[in-house]
Amino acid sequence: MEGSGVITEHTGAARKRSPARSWTIVPFGTAALVSIGILVYAVTNSFVWDEGFHLVAAQLIAHGKRPYLDFCFPQTPLNAYWNAAWMRLFGERWQITHVAAALLLIGTLFLVARFTVESLPISRWRAGCATIAVLFVGASITVVKFGPIAQAYAICLFCSFAAFFFTIECVERGTAVLAAPAGMLAGIAAGSSLLSAPVAPVLAAWIFFRSSRRSAALAWFVAGAAVPILPIVWLFVQGPHQTWFNIVAYQALFRRVDWDGATPHDVDVLTTWIDTGQALIAAILSALALLLMRGSDWTSRFRQRFSLAAWIAAALIVYISTAHPTFSRYYVVAIPFIAVLTAPGFYFAASRIFRQARPLWPTLALSTFLLLALARFLFNERDSATWRRYEELAHKVAAVTPKGAIFFADEHLYFLLHIAPPPGMEFSYSHKLTLPRAEEARLHIISEPELKQNLASGIYASFESCNDDRVDDWKVATFYKHRADIDDCSVFWDFQRKRGEPGARQPLKEP
């Protein structure tokens, strides 16, 4: 009986004639339409402040520099190398990295569609539930805002979910070698951002406890996971102190420096889902899936697939919640796993409220809500900062800064102007740190007091900032004769006090 959740066997001819089976194209078509929207948004309005230092890092790598050893970059490095490779092939433009990230998001959407279609045993509801799962990823405000950018979120989403997919195939087929790509993909995700670090141990444990060839499969998994970690090992061998600081010490000890309200901020982040429509519905549907799936007559194969997704989502949520401070966007790496859990949850809820044989209307209703929530967000963001603003700022800075002179700017402008930042200015958050001068030089950090001293001595021929507090606290306007405001940002030039020796800025050169 289909309504009870039991799969019935059909002949090949019957399958071809099955209307329910023919409708499974809908989630893939939905994924394709959403993909077009993501690509358009990626090259037009997609912008997040923090991607500036990621782009600078990739640009420096593309010109032969090494993260940690030549500049501060407190992230695992694989996403920066990924972006650098795209820059070497297609040019140093922000659009290139956005397209690369969008393609990874699109890959994730199609993997979610395929997984859900293959994992739901109720054929009549399969298309609708899979469509809902796709939209919980592709229409997610968090995914759309933070996915198609230069940061590592997109590569983490794709690689984590692909690793999950290969792990299921490894266990169900009993093919140990399939654990190797699972391990490699999980390693790439963690090597791109430590936000994805829990995925690998959860998958390894699943392979160990569920695989019929646990020893061989686990060995393949570990071997695969070791491959993407080799670049980090190579950097550690060359500079153990710098590598340890950027990957471990900064994240553990220095992220909350000069942040008195970090704890209240974390409490706010951890409870944001309660008043966020998309997140609240996803949480309710996922909880329904976990509560009701166990008591259903679904075979253990299907229950185990969704159980693994639940374990990964739970591990990621708990792990990310321990970050101090944490941010709502960090949870984006868990969204594909939560999304596939919403599929059975949607079935259990909608089939009890509506007629079991009529999945169309509840599917349309929830799909419309998810898309309207995204549309409302995009409308509200219409006046937010975009790369066009920084391109205008870069043009202004280039016009008022003497050729070869040092200037102070946000990381975005150094990237757009293809100029290496002055030493220590590759990562602006590091200015909050005050360490012994020798340690700062070793880690390629420059502190805020030293920046102020440089400003007062006239080292910076021009000064750009979108931080009003910095402009006011540093009294930047008193040091320059001219000022131009572009939206919320300011450019100052023509120093009016005694200047120090300006030195020369460092144009990027091919290695």
Q: Name the helix (H) or strand (E) containing 482.
A: strand 480-486
Predicted confidence at residue 357, as pLDDT, reads 63
- pLDDT, tens only, 309-350: 999 999 999 999 988 788 889 999 999 999 999 999 999 999
Integer Cα distance of 272 and 269 in angstroms: 5
Neighbouring CB atoms inside 10 A of 259's CB total: 12
> Is residue 259 pLDDT above 70, yes or no?
no
Cβ neighbour number for residue 249 with a 10 Å cutoff: 15
Look up the pTM and report it: 0.90
pLDDT tens figures, 58-111: 999 999 999 999 999 999 999 999 999 999 999 999 999 999 999 999 999 999
Q: For tokens 């440089």, name the residue.
A: 454
* 166-169 long-range contacts, CB within 8 A, separation 24+: 167/203, 167/206, 167/207, 167/308, 168/115, 168/305, 168/308
pLDDT confidence tier of residue 1, bands split at 50, 70 and 90: very low
Mean pLDDT value across residues 21-50:
92
HSE (CB half, 13 Å, CA atoms) of 457? 12
Is the separation of the CB atoms in 104 and 154 below 8 Å?
yes
Question: Residue 434 gets which letter from DSSP?
Answer: -
Contact 35, 395 (CB under 8 A): no
Sheet holding 407-408, edge to edge: 407-408, 462-465, 489-495, 480-486
**Mean pLDDT value across residues 248-254:** 86
pLDDT bracket for residue 221 (50, 70, 90)? very high
- Residues ≥6 apart with Cβ < 8 Å to 467: none
User: Burial, 36: exposed, middle or buried (Cβ in 10 Å; 0-12, 13-18, 19+)?
Assistant: exposed
Q: What is the mean pLDDT of the chain?
A: 89
Judge residue 233's burial from the number of C-beta atoms within 10 Å of its C-beta, 0-12 exposed, 13-18 middle, 19 or more buried. exposed
User: Closest by alpha carbon to 131, among 34, 250, 229?
Assistant: 34
pLDDT tens per residue across span 459-507: 999 999 999 999 999 999 999 999 999 998 999 999 986 544 444 445 5
Residues in Cβ contact with 19 at an 8 Å cutoff, skipping those fewer than 6 apart: none
Sign, CA torsion 59/61/66/68: positive
In whole angstroms, give the CA distance from residue 479 to residue 483: 10
pLDDT in tens, 420-439: 999 999 999 999 998 999 99
Token code pair at residue 346? 């949607």
- DSSP state for residue 422 in the 8-state scheme: P
Q: Is the dihedral of CA 440, 441, 443, 448 positive or negative?
A: positive
Tokens read off for 118? 């293959």
DSSP H/E element including 292? helix 277-293
Q: Per-residue pLDDT tens for 144-161?
A: 999 999 999 999 999 999
CB 188 within 8 A of CB 232: no
At 18 the pLDDT is: 53
Band of residue 273 on the pLDDT scale cut at 50, 70, 90: confident
Residue type present at position 43: V
* pLDDT score of 297: 72
Q: CA separation (Å) from 220 to 168, 227, 456?
A: 14, 11, 58
Coil vs helix vs strand at 493: strand
Q: What pLDDT score was predicted for residue 501?
A: 43
Beta bridge partners of 492: 463, 483
pLDDT band at 228 (very low <50, low <70, confident <90, very high): very high
Tell me the pLDDT band of 383, cut-offs 50, 70 and 90: confident
Does residue 247 carry a pLDDT above 90?
yes
Answer for the pair 129, 346: CB distance below 8 angstroms, yes or no: yes
pLDDT of residue 324: 74
Residue 436: is the preceding peptide bond cis (ω within 30°)? no
